[in-house]
Amino acid sequence: MLDTPAQLNSLYDRVRNVIPPIEWPAFTSDIESILELKEKRDAVILAHNYQTPEIFHCVADIVGDSLALARKAMEVEAGTIVLAGVHFMAETAKLLNPEKTVLIPDTRAGCSLAESITPADVRLMRERYPGVPIVTYVNTSAAVKAESDICCTSGNARAVVESLGVPRVIMIPDEYLAQNIAKETDVEIIAWKGHCEVHELFTADDIRELREAHSGVTVLAHPECPPDVVAEADFSGSTAAMSNFVETKAPGRVVLLTECSMSDNIAAAHPEVEFMRPCNLCPHMKRITLSNIRDALEQDRYEVILDPATADRARVAVERMLAV
């Protein structure tokens, strides 16, 4: 429990650059309850980089991109994990921690990429391209992972593809990620037709207009963006790689072509950097709020339950990725 105003003030210091003082009181009661409940319940909160600043900076224990969350999920000692992110991330945490309770505060927090492919589709791809390994983006259900040879994230996709030592791979379900990685490697890539509904909205024209309007702006694009957008950007990488770019290169003016909270979370710690728009909101990530995190901890909901046989097969694909 935060028993002194000083403790609450020090939490506010983390977000004062992105949350106006008038809005802060709306968060404090939930933040206090969550911090108290975490201790009482022996729980940790894992939060993706797209979570809002009051979650990311004030109640999360572990933050990062999909790869970091998967890796760090394996090191958790607490009995309960609350995943502040989308459903496939909670499933990955559960795969890696079958004996722990994993909670997702809103079961509707899905993903257009995960929705774009079914286990039957993957079996069909295997039939159509016999012997070609299937590399599956983590943004998929456990049932789809179970049909796959190995997983990847945006942070390790090229390394995973090249680790297989074959001339051709199937890479599902993100068509744009597959096309962007194909440009970086000699391995031939057969893609699926899934898209991220957030990143597919950015256009190369957005970037050209931005450069005209704001001289010297550095443009970072997530590899889920269409290939012509990535080609027009100055840098492309996972959300962690984008964050690292801003930390190390310290651009004066930057635009992150990705989910909006990403800029807010970095801006909270870097008032000296000017973050420009556009950005797009992910409606699935935005399902997670302080109040449903509090409810998750208070009422033990919603527990991620996986079919054990599916989970065993999906775990192999995730563990192979983590070994690369």
**Nearer residue to ligand 13P within complex by CB, 30 or 224:** 224
Question: Mask of contacts with ligand 13P, 112-141, x by CB under 6 A?
Answer: ---------------------------x--
**Nearer residue to ligand 13P within complex by CB, 2 or 241:** 241
Backbone torsion region of residue 38, taken as left when φ is above 0, otherwise alpha when ψ lies between -120 and 50, otherwise beta: alpha
* DSSP secondary structure of 89-144: HHHHHHHH-TTSEEE-S-TT---HHHHT--HHHHHHHHHHSTT--EEEESSS-HHH
Give the separation between CA 4 and CA 156, rounded to whole angstroms.
43
CB of 103 to ligand SF4, least distance (A): 18
Residue 112 binds: one of ligand 13P, ligand SF4, none (C-beta under 5 to 8 A by kind)? ligand SF4
Confirm or reject binding of residue 173 to ligand 13P (CB under 6 A): no
Identity at 286, one-letter amino acid code: K
Confirm or reject binding of residue 43 to ligand SF4 (CB under 6 A): no
**What three-state secondary structure class fits 86?**
coil
Q: Which of positions 248-277 make contact with ligand SF4 (CB under 6 A)? A: 259
**Nearer residue to ligand 13P within complex by CB, 37 or 47:** 47
Question: CB within 8 A of 156, min separation 6: which ones?
Answer: 67, 321, 324
Can you read off the two tokens belonging to residue 79? 């009995």
CB of 243 to ligand 13P, least distance (A): 9
Q: Cβ atoms within 10 A of the Cβ of 78, count?
A: 16
Confirm or reject binding of residue 154 to ligand 13P (CB under 6 A): yes
How far is CA 300 from each of CA 20, 104, 116, 142, 283, rounded to the nearest angstrom?
32, 10, 30, 22, 24
**Nearer residue to ligand SF4 within complex by CB, 169 or 257:** 257
Give the separation between CA 139 and CA 113, rounded to whole angstroms.
6
Confirm or reject binding of residue 113 to ligand SF4 (CB under 6 A): yes
Question: Mask of contacts with ligand 13P, 72-111, x by CB under 6 A?
Answer: --------------x-------------------------
Confirm or reject binding of residue 65 to ligand 13P (CB under 6 A): yes
**Strands 101-103 and 80-84, how do they pair?**
parallel
**Nearer residue to ligand SF4 within complex by CB, 211 or 286:** 286
Instruction: State yes or no: cis peptide before 278, omega within 30 of 0.
Output: yes
Per CB under 6 A, residues contacting ligand SF4 are 86, 111-113, 139, 196-198, 224, 259, 282, 284-285
Per CB under 6 A, residues contacting ligand 13P are 49, 65-67, 86, 139, 153-155, 196, 224, 238-239
